[in-house]
Each structure stands twice: as C-alpha cells, then as structure tokens.
Amino acid sequence: MGNLVRSFVGHVRAVATGLRYLLLPNRMTVYYPEKLIELPEGYRGLIRYYPELCVQCGLCAMVCPAGAMKMYVKKGEKRGRPGVNYQRCIFCGFCADICPQNALEMTKVHDVAYEKLEDMILSPEEFAREVRSPALEEGAVKVKVIFSEERGLVHEPA
C-alpha cells in the first residue's frame, strides 16, 4: 500500500512539474554573444592542427569519412601536411582520434562564421592558427547549464 501511495504521489508531482513548465516556461537559450555556454569535455568543435607534432603520416586524411581532410604536398617535398575543408567536415573527430602524435585537437570553439565558402577550406598553414571564439574575444561571459527541479534549466556563471 505504501508503495502505491508513493508511486501515486510521484506521478502527481511529475504531472505538476510538466504543467508548471508548460504554463511558466523557463528561458533555455542564452543571450549570445553576451553569454556563451561552457561546453562539456569531449565537445567536438573546430579543429586545431599542431604542425610541430605532426609526422606527416597522412592517417588523418585517410580516415576522414567525409573527404574533408586532405594532405597538401609542398613543391620539393615528399610528404604532405593536412588541411581541412569545413564545407565537408562533420566533426566526427576520427582524424584527431587516429592521429598518433596528438597533432589534431577538437577544440570547443563552434561559433566562427565564414564570409565566403572558399574561406572554409583551410590550408595547413591556416589550419595551424589558433582557433578563437569571436564572442569570447568580444568579452562574452561563460555560463554553465544546470538543471533545477524547481526552475528547469538554469544558467550560472561558469
């Protein structure tokens, strides 16, 4: 009997929570670019290439399922270095995972806009530049998302 009552009360509370969120919805988005959500470890954003670590094995380009990673061979050199085409990249992270040198890093930066399609094709030199979030550059405040039973999703300073 006790279990039945507990179960009933649990269901009533769940329905009440649903109704509360329906009638008084909480804001779930942030005021970008003033605020930026702190992303979890393992988030796969734009990729950074570290040429000083690269042994030019070409595995990253071989494994790429989208044909986004390509080796660029300089005149007079036998082996190339990777560049990426963000028109094709699906951010699977296979290239970073397979790299034996950890020369590729999936950064948490995701809010970069390109003016022209051709700007999305990065040569090895461009690929090696630091990846920066324009919002953070402009002083965005980082917030983290927490779940509150009473208030739903809440954003707090990270």
Residues that bind ligand SF4 (CB under 6 A): 54-60, 64, 66, 68-69, 82, 84, 89-95, 99, 101, 103-104
Spatial distance between the Cα atoms of 94 and 99, rounded to a whole number of angstroms: 9
Nearer to ligand SF4, 36 or 60 (CB): 60
Nearer to ligand SF4, 37 or 57 (CB): 57
Nearer to ligand SF4, 32 or 114 (CB): 114
Q: Is the Cα torsion angle 40, 41, 42, 47 positive or negative in sign?
A: positive
Sheet holding 81-85, edge to edge: 69-72, 81-85, 121-122
